[in-house]
Amino acid sequence: MNRKQFLKTSALTLAGIAAGGSFLESCKKSTTGPQGPTVNFTIDLNSSSYAALSATGGYVYSQGVIIARISSLLDGFIAVAQTCTHNGCTLTFGAGSQTFLCPCHGGTYDLNGNVTAGPPPYPIKRYSVSRSGNNLTVSG
Ligand code: FES
């Protein structure tokens, strides 16, 4: 390989590395906003599947969302994404602390989905909840 061929090969190699780096850069998570699925569903509070919501502090899962009853008031429900933004563990609800808890590495989120402790890099999405009779609609 002569000098000219060497320089041409080197330039092509560097261009390939640069293009690959650019490609990998585009694969990185680009959002830092709240994480969670887009949903729009209604649950029937009379269904035995959602019986846990009859008591303050109870919670259930549906379609990637954790729904918790935070007070005994008529509309005392809150819904956030159920998946921790750290490594994807399923969150639980701590009625005493009024936080969503990750059992894997101790991450915690407040009622708005903001990270309050632990390694989660992003907040979780909070959903709109509305009640009509015994129907609870979750959307966002
Ligand atoms: S997976 Fe939730 S804190 Fe690590």
Instruction: Report pLDDT digits (tens) over 66-99.
Output: 999 998 666 799 999 999 999 999 999 999 999 9
List the beta bridge partners of residue 54: none
CA of 128 to the centre of ligand 1 (A): 24
Q: Which residue's CA lies nearest to atom 1 of ligand 1?
A: 87
- Is 116 a pocket residue for ligand 1 (Cβ < 6 Å)? no
Please count the structural domains in the chain: 2
Residues 44 and 95 in one domain: yes
Residues 24 and 71 in one domain: no
Q: Is pLDDT at 9 greater than 50 in this prediction?
A: no
103-116 burial: b if 16+ Cβ within 10 Å, else e: eeeebbbbeebebe
CA of 13 to the centre of ligand 1 (A): 39
CA of 16 to the centre of ligand 1 (A): 36
Taking the model in full, what pTM does it have? 0.78
Residue 118, token pair as written in the block: 């632990």
Inside any domain, residue 35: no
Cβ–Cβ under 8 Å, residues 113 and 68? no
